[in-house]
Amino acid sequence: MISPLLDRLPVSDRQRVMIGQVVRFGLVGGFVTALYAMVYSPLAKYGLTSPQVANFLGYLTAMITGYVLHSKWSFRDHGKRDNPARTTTRFFIVSLVSYGLNALFVFLLTDRHMAGGPWWWPLLPILFVTPAVTFTLNRQWVFR
């Protein structure tokens, strides 16, 4: 579905590959971020647990799903797959960076000693900042 559209772009093959990765990463990232939000939001909104525990449970769900989908689809035509243990380890490290960023956003934006905002405030940087960081790390370091 994406390839025929990319084939029409007046860009080099290398650029076409990169654009394809960005589009696939965006689709998968959007899906796993929505999955994260579906886990985090009701837990945090209704006070079923603390925002940090809700963040951790959302992270686990998104990390496992994201690894499968990004390795099989988002970066399918990028890099070598000659060392699966290294790729998996690096993906996990990047996912910890993602978790750390999200935990920082939750802390800064919801903690009563910081911004003290509502449960949904962290979703804004989680939707826009974290994906940009993780795409760059995945492309340059994990799936290279």
State the residue range of the domain holding 101.
25-142
In a domain, 3, yes or no: no
Domain count for the chain, please give it: 1
In a domain, 4, yes or no: no
Q: The tokens 């971020």 sit on which residue? A: 33
In a domain, 135, yes or no: yes
Where do the H-state alpha helices sit in 8-141?
A: 13-45, 51-69, 84-110, 123-137
CA–CA dist 95, 57 (Å, integer): 13
Question: In a structure prediction context, what are the per-residue pLDDT tens digits for the chain, which is 144 residues long?
Answer: 556 666 677 778 788 888 888 889 899 988 998 998 899 999 999 999 998 899 899 999 999 999 899 888 888 766 666 788 898 899 899 999 998 998 999 999 998 888 889 989 998 998 889 988 998 998 899 888
